[in-house]
Amino acid sequence: MRPRQHPVKLGRNAKDSVRTQFGALVWRWRKDKLQVLLIKTRRRKRWIIPKGWPMDGQTPVQAAATEAWEEAGIKGRPAPICIGLYSYQKYPRNGEMPMPCVVAVFPLKARWEFDKYPEASERKRKWVSQKKAAAMVEDAELAQIIRHFNPRLYRL
C-alpha cells in the first residue's frame, strides 16, 4: 500500500509558532556505493540538505522535490514516505528572534543533475558518502537520519 499525501493549504501562523519545512535527502549509487548530496546554506555556509517552506497546492513530497530542483539542480524520483524529522533554529536576515523549524525529510533518488538551476550562483553542492555526509552536517538529528538511511527500503 502506498501512503497518500494531501496538498498543503497555507494560512497565517502566529510569529512564535514552530514552522514546518520539507526537505529532500537526495541520493544516488556510484560504483555500488551510496552517495548523498549536500548543499551549502547561503549565509552561514553550513552543509545541509535541500529544504524549504510548504508550497500552496503541493504535497509535502512535491515541495521537497521542488526544493531539490531549486537549491541543488536535481530532478529525480521522490518517495512519499517521511524518513525522519529534525529541528533547527532559523535566523531571519532582519535580526528578529530565531524561528523554531521542524523539517520532514523525504528521500529522492537523483535521476538528472543540471548545471543551470534557480540557485546555482548562490549555493555549492557536493556528492559525498553517507558516512561523510552525516559528519558534515551540524544538526545531530539530520546526521542521524542520513546515517540510518537505507535506500533499498524504497522502490525507486
CATH number, position 75? 3.90.79.10
User: At 139, is the pLDDT very low, low, confident or very high (cuts 50, 70, 90)?
Assistant: very high
The whole-number pLDDT of residue 1 equals: 46
**Is pLDDT of 6 > 70?**
no
- Tell me how many degrees the CA angle 33-37-42 measures, rounded to the nearest 5: 160
Q: Report whether 112 contacts 74 (CB < 8 A).
A: yes
Prediction pTM value: 0.89
Domain with 49, as residue range(s), is 24-153
User: Who's near 15: CB < 8 A, 6+ residues apart?
Assistant: none
> Which residue reads 522535490 in cell numbers?
65
What is the domain count for the chain?
1
CA distance 86 to 88: 7
**Considering the domain boundaries, does residue 84 fall inside one?**
yes
